[in-house]
Amino acid sequence: MKFAVAGATGKMGKMLIDTILRSSNAQLTGALEHPSCPLLGTDAGAFLGQQTNVLITSDLAKGLAGAEYLIDFTRPEGTLLHLEAAKRAGVKMIIGTTGFTAEQLQQLRGATDTIAIVFAPNMSVGVNATLKILQVAAQLLNQGYDIEIVEAHHRHKVDAPSGTAIKMGEVIAKAQGHSLADLAVYAREGHTGERKPGTIGFATIRGGDIVGDHTVIFAGEGERIEISHRSTSRQSYAEGALRAAAFLQNQPKGWFDMQDVLGLK
């Protein structure tokens, strides 16, 4: 499998490159960065002390030449630029970027008439197993339990709540026959009054180098159930992205998520 990586000099980009270089069935063919990146023109494996002969570039056509897949964990504006280039080149995409608006998501979906895309706010196999557990829990605990989602990430994360937290809320709401848009409470301040039954509350923590912690609380009378997932490394995201690419090998076009990749639907 031949990969180009967007955001090649970022923490996630480096983890993806490291994972690809260590994989026996993956090859790095492109490394993309923004035009003002000071590392343009350097070897994409230099941070590992390896020579890959793949130079970091801001030229999308050049970076995608020879690639079958583009892995993108950048920002919405960058991902949408990369999307147009991937469509032109016929390159499939694995997208872990978060913070898209509804209109931007529609733009991504529109591209699946041309290419195949796996889109997931979290590529971790463990997180996606947790989503399945939450679906079952939400069905069982659909009366008498207040639901709160607490997430924590590093100080550099720019969107809140996290895409994973929102996905958890969507899974729970759908399992109980509702839309998250009708139930979500994203902020509380001042005299809020009593908690409205059936709502799903979100709390956000930002600090330090926290990779990603998520806890869903089902609080009832006399008991509380907590379902948590904690990431201590970005390695699980990278491994999940390669697993997503393997799934796409037999998908010429279409829109998929990690639940499709893992056969959990």
pLDDT value of residue 226: 98
- Which percentage of the chain shows pLDDT scores above 90? 96
pLDDT tens figures, 161-213: 999 999 999 999 999 999 999 999 999 999 999 999 999 999 999 999 999 99
Q: Is there a catalytic annotation at residue 157?
A: yes
Following DSSP, what letter does each residue of 193-246 receive, concatenated? Answer: -SPPTT-EEEEEEE-TT--EEEEEEEE-SS-EEEEEEEES-THHHHHHHHHHHH
pLDDT in tens, 108-159: 999 999 999 999 988 999 999 999 999 999 999 999 999 999 999 999 999 9
Choosing from 87, 157, 178, 253, the catalytic residue is: 157
Residue for token pair 């970027």: 97
Domains and CATH numbers, the chain: 2-119+234-261 (3.40.50.720), 125-231 (3.30.360.10)
Q: 73: helix, coil or strand?
A: coil
Q: What is the dihedral of CA 129, 177, 187, 258, to 10 degrees?
A: 30
pLDDT digits (tens, 9 = 90+) for 221-250: 999 999 999 999 889 999 999 999 999 999
What pLDDT score was predicted for residue 238?
95
Question: Strand locations in the chain, DSSP E?
Answer: 2-6, 27-32, 56-57, 69-72, 92-95, 116-119, 146-153, 184-185, 200-206, 212-219, 224-231, 254-256
- Model pLDDT, residue 265: 77
At 259, list the tokens: 């639940």
The catalytic residue among 14, 82, 153, 229 is: 153
Q: How do residues 185-199 score in pLDDT, each as one tens digit?
A: 999 999 999 999 999
Q: What is the pLDDT of residue 28?
A: 98
Buried b (16+ CB within 10 A) or exposed e, 181-197: eebbeeeeeeeeeeeee
| pLDDT at site 121 | 86
